[in-house]
Amino acid sequence: MMRIYLRLKFVCFFTFIGLSAFAQMVPPTLELPAANDTFVSASSLLQTSNHGDAIIEFEIDSVADFSSPAMQSVLSFSNNWGDKEQGRVTFLQYNTKYYLRARSAMDGDTSDWTSTRAFRTTAYPILINPKNNTANGVSAFAWNDAGSLTYYLQVDTTADFSSPFAHTINIADTAFAKYGSIYAAPEKLLYGKKHYWRVKAFHHTDTSLWSPVWSFSLPEKTTLKSPATNITNQNDNINLEWNGLWDAQFYQLQYDTLADFSSVVRKDTLVKGPNTTKTTVDNLYFGRKYYWHVRAIYAKDTSAWSEAWNFETIEKLTLTYPADNKTGISLADVLSWNRIGSGTHYQAQTDSSESFNSPQLFDTVTTSNSVQLQNRMYATTYFWRSRIVNKNDSSQWSEVRKFTTIARETAQNLIPTNNTTNLSINSDFTVVNVMAGNHAAIEIDTTVNFNSPLLIRDTLRFAESERYPRKNIKGLRFAQKYYWRNKNFNNNDSTNWSPLYTFTTTAKPMLEFPYNNQARQ
């Protein structure tokens, strides 16, 4: 075989004592494959040190004198890799000893061949993951790139690959190669079983041996994560979480009030896997112990149930305000308790009887965890309690607490303020709702005894939550001094009359519009 190498080159002639001297080309230094390497890929990278503008010629053969018909000659790539010269040989025979040499070529000249280096191609792919005898399952199979077009991956539950479960997956290296390794996703595995796997490679001229057999196991079942087992005082809605299992398409969750999961209240829930490993269950029964377990499901298998854990739901609410036996509670004060769970509403009761059966019983339903007092009386001791209700159950009543309301309050006037002058004869009167009442009496008169023929008596109605109710009062006289007061009421009690306020009405009508001397627009 003849090769002609052409490169432009400036040649300098040096003459010393009448003799012409030419620099002789130096052979490159072989770097890859390493000498005597026994696991070289059948399609392998060849590499020497950088030789400037020279081309590197590699020869590879299975005989040491490079004389067989199968000898391959390879030229280095046109673009160097950094300070290296590289080429690639493809489709060598597996488990075969090869010899390699290289030389530089430039401008029709060549260097001597390097010394011959021997190496052996790999007999089989080298397995990488999952590690042999691992008990943690598998996310992907991986082995080294043996320089093949296709790989056979074989998986079984017996070491001799003879069971009906045995299956073989064909893998194209171009589709799954990454960083010198080949990756393949498992297609079917069995929970709680030990699996064996091996790989062999082939290309159009040869097939490797099977790799050594490695094994791995899939966990039999998942493990629960939270809440910790035997935990108490849990809300009627609770987050349950577990650890994932390989390739689970769904997780099946069961929870029940019986340890054998046989009661009529047992619930089954499917959670889409594999990455979602938690869910919230709600509307649980109050004051009950629940058992729960989880298993994984995918198209080829279903895992065993996990160990069963348990938790207990809260039995009753905890009251937060006011403290037991507290005195001086305003009739506009608020009762509150802890907020929990998925309840649809809370029920609160207040009564002057500890048995909660008097005509004064105040029973209210709310979605909030507090309620404002209504229609209570001054200087009275009351008992109160609350509970939560969800779609399936009601909690027990909380502990019973008691409180005593303040002594009778005095109502408060707000507007018009005391000693107001030039008040319109049609004006708004505003009072302060000091007792969370529902109406107020307003009296306006020209005498402090409120008994003259000019007495105006009116009722202002409002919601218990309205803090500053007001009403427009008509019929006042011009240039008249008046006294006014108010008293708050609920359905059961009232405040004292407010202190007297005075005001004087305007002496004549007050013109408002159009403005004085305003030009017509």
User: What percentage of the chain carries pLDDT values higher than 90?
Assistant: 72
Tokens of 475: 């019929």
Give which of 391, 374, 390, 393 is closest to 382, Cα–Cα.
Answer: 374
The whole-angstrom separation of Cα 59 and Cα 57 is 7
Per-residue pLDDT tens digits for 461-511: 999 889 999 999 999 999 999 999 999 999 999 999 999 999 999 997 766
Residue 247 Rama label (left phi>0; alpha psi -120 to 50; beta): left
Q: Are residues 255 and 205 in the same domain?
A: no
The answer to whether residue 76 is domain-embedded is yes
Give which of 201, 202, 177 is closest to 125, Cα–Cα.
Answer: 201
Q: Are residues 116 and 19 in the same domain?
A: yes
* Domain around 325: 319-405
pLDDT of residue 64: 95
Tokens of 136: 């943690």
Per-residue pLDDT tens digits for 169-188: 998 865 555 557 888 888 88
DSSP letters, 159-174, are TTS-STT-EEEEEEHH
Q: Are residues 108 and 166 in the same domain?
A: no
Tokens of 71: 């000898």
pLDDT of residue 455: 96
Residues 6+ apart with CB under 8 A from 338: 317, 318, 320, 369
* Domains of the chain: total: 5
The answer to whether residue 341 is domain-embedded is yes
Q: Are residues 114 and 19 in the same domain?
A: yes
DSSP letters, 26-51, are PPP-EEESPTT-S-B-SSEEEEEE--
The whole-angstrom separation of Cα 144 and Cα 137 is 20
Give the pLDDT band of residue 335 (cuts 50, 70, 90): very high
Q: Are residues 381 and 441 in the same domain?
A: no
The answer to whether residue 9 is domain-embedded is no
pLDDT of residue 173: 60
pLDDT of residue 98: 96
Torsion of CA 204, 207, 213, 219, to 10 degrees: 10
Q: Are residues 209 and 286 in the same domain?
A: no
pLDDT(10) > 50 = no
Give which of 155, 270, 150 is closest to 214, Cα–Cα.
Answer: 155
Boundary-marking domain end, from 313, 338, 356: 313
CATH of the domain at 189: 2.60.40.10
Per-residue pLDDT tens digits for 421-443: 999 999 999 999 999 899 999 99
Beta bridge partners of 364: 348
Please state, rounded to an integer, the average pLDDT across all residues of the chain.
89
Q: Are residues 110 and 35 in the same domain?
A: yes
pLDDT(380) > 90 = yes
The whole-angstrom separation of Cα 75 and Cα 154 is 37
Q: Are residues 170 and 265 in the same domain?
A: no
3-state secondary structure 273-321: CCCCCEEEECCCCCCCEEEEEEEEEECCEECCCCCCEEEEECCECCEEE
Peptide bond into 469 cis (omega under 30): no
Give the pLDDT band of residue 521 (cuts 50, 70, 90): low
